[in-house]
Structure 1
C-alpha cells in the first residue's frame, strides 16, 4: 500500500518550529513522495489556517509548538492542536515527531480509537527511522512507543485535577468549586490518581509532592 501511496500526489503538512528539523524532514519526505505537495507551519495558528484550507493526507507534527510567531513553544499548544486534529472529520494520517512524547499518554484513549493512521517517535532518531514510522501511519496502523503504551489511561477529570493543582496552584476546595463537584469527589480522584501512578503514602514524604513528581515523569503535566 505504501508503494502505491508513493506515486500518488499527496498533500503533506509538517508542523515544527525548528528550522533544522524542517531542513531534514522535507528532503526525506520529498525523496519518498516525489510528487507530493509539502506545506510547512512553524506555529499552531499557521497550521490551523492551512488545515482549514486543505485536506492533508499526512501531518507530521511536533508536540512543543508556539501558538503564533515569536511566542515560546509549549507542549500544551501542540497537544491542543493534535487533539483537535484527531477529532476533525478529515482524519489525516499523523506522525508525531518530538523530543518528548510522554504527554501523549494524556490522549491515549483518543489515539487508540483514531480513524486514521498514527505513529509517534523521538525526533532524535535518524531520518530513516522517521520514514518507517511514516509507513506505519500511512498504512492506517496505530503505533505508540512503549513509554506511552505502558502508562495507564487517565480519565479526563483526573488530568484536570492535576492541572488545577500543579499548574494553577488551587486547593482541593477550589478545585471542587471550579469543576462543580464535591470535596469528597476530589478526594476520590486523588486516590485513583495515586493508584494509577503507583505512588504510595509514606510517613517520610509529602504524598502530593510525590504525586506531582510521578505525574511530571509520566508526561501528564508539563515540566
Structure 2
C-alpha cells in the first residue's frame, strides 16, 4: 500500500495572480514559511499569468476572481480547455457561495477567502498542494434575520414595492419600511438593489 504524502516537498513553485501589488506582497510574505525553498512568482493580470505559464510549470496557482483584463473564472475555464494540469485555487474577497460553487465547477481545487489570516491561508494552500479539494464556504446563517425579514427579502428580490409587500404580508407600509431599514443596516447598504445583491451574496435568497 502506498503511504499518503502528508508533508510538502522542500521546493515549491507558486504563481499568484491578483491585480493588487500590495496584496501580492502581503500574500508572498504570508506564504514565505510554507516550505524551505519556496519560489513565488506574481502576475497582475491574465496576460502576465499566461506569459508565466508559457515559460515554466508551477505546483499551484492562486487566482483572483477579478482581474483587469479577464474574469478569473474565464481564465480558469480556458486553462481547463487547454488541458493544463496545474492545480488552481481561487483566492477572492467575495464570500458568495455562488462564486465558490462556480469556481469549483470550473475546475478549481479550492476557494480561499482573502479574509483568511496567515495561518488559515497556509493551511488551505498546504491542503491543496497535498492534493485535497477544499469545500465551498458555507453561507452566512440566515438566523441573523428575523422571521419577518426573511419573508420580506424574497419579495424585495422580486421587485415588489413596499405597498405590495405590505399587502402580501398583511403589514402596514410603515412596518415594512422599518424592517427594510433594519435590513439595510444589517447589510450595510443604502438601496433596495444593493440590499438584494448583498443578501444574495450571503446566500440568504
Q: Distance in 2 between matches of 1:216 and 1:50?
A: 38
In structure 2, do the counterparts of structure 1 residues 201 and 101 end up closer, same or farther at CA, with 3 Å as the change threshold?
closer
Per the alignment, residue 145 of structure 1 pairs with 137
Per the alignment, residue 187 of structure 2 pairs with none
SS of the aligned residue for 2:101 comes to: helix
Determine which structure has more spread, i.e. the larger CA radius of gyration. 2
Q: What TM-score results when the alignment is normalised by the length of structure 2?
A: 0.60
The C-alpha deviation readout for 1:51-108, integer Å capped at 9, x for no partner, is 12211111111111111xxxxxxxx622211222344433222222111153233344
- The answer to whether the Cα contact below 8 Å between 2:91 and 2:112 also exists between their aligned partners in 1 is yes
Q: What TM-score results when the alignment is normalised by the length of structure 1?
A: 0.56
Aligned positions of 1:40-119 closer than 5 A: 40-67=42-69, 77-102=71-96, 103-111=99-107, 118-119=109-110
Aligned positions of 1:97-176 closer than 5 A: 97-102=91-96, 103-111=99-107, 118-143=109-134, 144-147=136-139
Aligned length: 153
Per the alignment, residue 18 of structure 2 pairs with 16
Q: Distance in 1 between matches of 2:23 and 2:55?
A: 24
Extract structure 1 runs of 4+ deviating beyond 4 A.
199-203, 213-216
SS of the aligned residue for 2:110 comes to: strand
Q: Distance in 1 between matches of 2:9 and 2:27?
A: 16
Gaps of at least 5 residues in structure 2 are 141-153, 166-191
In structure 2, do the counterparts of structure 1 residues 26 and 108 end up closer, same or farther at CA, with 3 Å as the change threshold?
closer
Deviation at 1:15, TM superposition (A): 0.6
Match of 1:25 among 12, 24, 27: 27
> What's the C-alpha RMSD, in Å, of the aligned pairs?
3.4
